[in-house]
Chains A and B, each alone.
Chain A
Amino acid sequence: MATTLTPVLSAHWDEKDSWTLAAYERHGGYRGLRAALAMDPSAVITEVKDSGLRGRGGAGFPTGMKWSFLPKPDGGPRYLVVNADESEPGTCKDIPLMLANPQALIEGVIITSYAIGCHKAFIYLRGEVVHVYRRLLNAVAEAKAKGYLGDDILGSGFDLDVVVHAGAGAYICGEETALLDSLEGRRGQPRLKPPFPAVAGLYARPTVINNVESIASVPAIVTGGAEWFKSMGTERSTGFGFFSLSGHVTRPGQYEAPLGITLRELLAMAGGIRGGHQLKFWTPGGSSTPLFTEEHLDIPLDFESVGAAGSMLGTRALQIFDETTCVVRAVERWIEFYKHESCGKCTPCREGNYWMVQVLHRLERGQGTQEDLDTLLDICDNLLGRSFCALGDGAASPVTSSIKYFKDEYLRHVTEGGCPFDPAQSALFQGAHAR
């Protein structure tokens, strides 16, 4: 096998007390912070820039560059906000990371805050994971008791306070400007950009927003150095990341590997598709990234290669579906999700998803027509690139890609007067009959 796993953040998750500060320090935790505090803040930014780290929340924007967009200090506050609102369907990496190893995130928050000159940082966690919230609050308290947070951190003179904030159930708050509105105590609706958060973010102050995994990777980059980080991954997609396998796979789970690993390699590690079945379709990075099929098994899972093949690396949320799965049913359910989670601010997304659900319902129930496929594609034309934020763009992905690869299956729903699949065959247990 060409590629092997490179556990960094997950290296010690199998230790029973892995979430405690003691366990984290046992394996070199907070070495990165000590190294960073001995550096000039700008040198920390340079190190992260040089590492090539790209945002792990889906968009892949270079993290160090994002930090460097902050305007010159003007005497007022500037903020770091960690996006821990992990909600993209299929994405399940940040939650187990924060459950098993929250200190990596806290150390990353402190180093990043030092680098950008922030003295009040926020971690915005989705509200639907109460035990993760407990672990984060506990991690902040432990770090504070040890002098890693608060005033004059480790005698450096640097002060930092971290607030862990629980959301209340809204996918859209994973969009960074909607998250900021939510953190300000408002409905979570995206803001018009520009101005970008780097210029006018939280409370209209310069703000850096990064994903959990991005920030949690910072301590290792500072400790190991940019060249070490770049020794993993590809030239333009450097480093390691979580690949989250779920669905019809023998051993679903978290696999921390260099970017550029392929699904074929990952499936070999995960025991393949469940016994007696074959791969039908998969998402490379969550439901907002166009579907792939078995012809894409050897695409390197890096930003460039996945993009060139017509999809997006996204959050490396590899949802695997075998031949028992009806693609129309899968897409219908995703679009119901986008309809439910559309914030309602812009018309293409609010109305487009509403109508796509109606069309997909009648197709799945055998009441559709061939023209319905054109209607769906037409609606997608009006969503993609015409929505206020990426939620609308994302909703078009499963629809257009599924029609591209499985048009015949859609048409079978029309010609055969309904769904030709038995959902019980897709379930992971015997005797599922409901629909």
Chain B
Amino acid sequence: MSFSAEAGQRLAADAQQIIARYPVPRSALLPMLHLVQSEEGFVSADGVEFCAEQLDLTAAEVAAVATFYSQYKRHPNGTYTVGVCTNTLCAVMGGDAIFEELSEHLGVGHDQTTEDGAITLERVECNAGCDYAPVVMVNWEFFDNQTPTTAKDLVDELRAGRDVAPSRGAAKVCSFKEVSRVLAGFPDGRANEGVQAGGPTLEGTLLARRNNWTAPAMAAPVPAVPAEQVAAETTAASAGASGSDAPSVPAGTRERAGTVAGKPAGEATHGSQDNGSATTPPPKEG
């Protein structure tokens, strides 16, 4: 069974938007796999076929990619992926106990889904929230400093269909399909929801503030470099250099920026012109 005509048309339009982001179409494949997952809740054979058609690849080429990455599901996923971090740090801090108790509570193991289709339980690898260990991810939103009890309460709420708010994330956890669409690069308008940081993130900031610890003061803002000086030095130093592709700025600007004599942005850093740089660093302080 392939996508309905309506879905096929809608997804094809989305796919074209994704492809347009990249200089080479094939780069669109990972977001496009997130996109088909947002339609079906997993990457089906139809999803693979769809991506192959959009990108002029074979189904085998697409499947080879889809099976490499752990976020792409090969069978229908629950509405919520509940991922317990059981990498060493979280496991030792209690992640192992959380996973075991959740598994018993839900009656499913790793990568299995509850009968009501609500929860897919997973062991996940380190999710970069180690200072909040043990961490549980629900549809890739952070639930910090979990215990077996809080984790069981969390899945009970999800199964009851109630909104649940992550510790650091959107105002509520969205469905697996909704989140997959965001990961395909289509914003859902929730970026300004939620906190800027949790407690551990702020430990150093607040400690420094209490103790009046700061980085050394910067001197007054770096003054604009006299353009003529840079242009003169640069031109002299790179006479004979080949033409430049960068930066592609109008001639007048290039002259001002000192790139006119084919002074390439990325390579002109060897040799004597490096010393005597036209930027005078502010004096060392503190």
Contacts and interface: CB of A to CB of B under 8 A. Distances in A.
Interface of A: 4-8, 10-20, 31, 35, 37-43, 45-47, 49-50, 64, 67-68, 70-78, 86-92, 94-96, 99-100, 114-120, 126-131, 133-135, 137-138, 141, 156-159, 163-171, 182-188, 203, 206, 222-228, 230-232, 240, 244-248, 251-257, 269-270, 287, 317, 319, 321, 325, 329-331, 333-334, 337, 340-341, 343, 423-424, 426-429, 431-435
A43 B277 contact: yes
A232 to B, nearest CB: 7
B70 A170 contact: yes
A435 B225 CA distance: 63
B242 interface: yes
A39 B278 contact: yes
A41 B196 contact: no
B258 interface: yes
A46 B282 contact: no
A169 B68 CA distance: 9
B266 A73 contact: yes
11 contacts: A6-B215, A14-B202, A73-B245, A89-B126, A130-B139, A130-B179, A157-B253, A228-B285, A337-B88, A423-B92, A426-B94
Nearest to B94: A427
A38 B28 CA distance: 35
A203 B34 CA distance: 22
A5 B207 contact: yes
B224 to A, nearest CB: 4
Contacts of A245: 131
B260 to A, nearest CB: 10
A319 B92 CA distance: 11
B5 interface: no
Interface stretch (B7-15, B111-119, B152-160, B187-195): B187-195
A5 B284 contact: no
Q: Which 9 A-B pairs have the closest CB atoms?
A: A117-B246, A157-B249, A253-B203, A434-B100, A225-B281, A157-B253, A185-B29, A117-B265, A253-B200
Interface in B81-138: 83, 86-89, 91-94, 96-97, 99-101, 124-134, 137
Contacts of A133: 182-183
Contacts of A319: 88-89, 130
A40 B27 CA distance: 32
A225 B133 contact: no
Contacts of A428: 93-94, 133-134, 145
A156 B269 contact: no
Interface string B53-89: 0010000000011001111100000000001001111
Contacts of A431: 148
Given A13-B196, A129-B140, A231-B286, 16 more contacts: A35-B221, A72-B242, A73-B264, A73-B266, A130-B169, A130-B170, A131-B166, A157-B257, A165-B185, A170-B70, A185-B28, A228-B219, A228-B281, A426-B92, A428-B145, A435-B96
- Most chain B CB within a 10 A radius of its CB, from A50, A88, A169, A171: A169
B45 interface: no
Contacts of B4: none
A269 B207 contact: yes
- Most chain B CB within a 10 A radius of its CB, from A17, A90, A159, A287: A90
B72 A168 contact: yes
A120 to B, nearest CB: 7
Nearest to B127: A128
Interface residues of B, number: 133
B70 A115 contact: no
Given A43-B225, A231-B284, A78 B266 contact: yes
A90 B91 CA distance: 12
Interface string B205-229: 1111101011110110110110100
A70 B68 contact: no
Given A10-B205, A43-B230, A130-B182, A187 B266 contact: no
B126 A88 contact: yes
A157 B247 contact: yes
A328 to B, nearest CB: 11
Contacts of A231: 216, 284-286
Given A38-B224, A45-B269, A227 B282 contact: yes
B270 interface: yes
Chain B contact residues, majority secondary structure: loop
A330 B87 CA distance: 9
A188 B269 CA distance: 32
B161 interface: no
B249 A156 contact: yes
Contact of A45 (B34, B92, B100, B266): B266
A337 B23 CA distance: 34
A120 B101 CA distance: 47
A170 B131 contact: no
B44 interface: no
A247 to B, nearest CB: 6
A17 B195 CA distance: 8
B27 A184 contact: yes
Contact of A14 (B28, B128, B132, B205): B205
A13 B185 contact: no
Given A6-B214, A168-B69, A337 B126 contact: yes
Contacts of B281: 47, 50, 225-228
Given A168-B70, A228-B219, A232-B216, A40 B230 contact: yes
B248 to A, nearest CB: 7
A225 B249 contact: no
Given A117-B244, A157-B249, A223-B218, A424 B130 contact: no
A320 B242 CA distance: 53
Nearest to B200: A253
B268 interface: yes
B16 interface: no
A145 to B, nearest CB: 13
Contacts of B168: 99, 131
A386 B243 CA distance: 42
A321 B263 CA distance: 53
Contacts of B264: 72-73, 117
B1 interface: no
Contacts of B69: 127, 167-170, 188
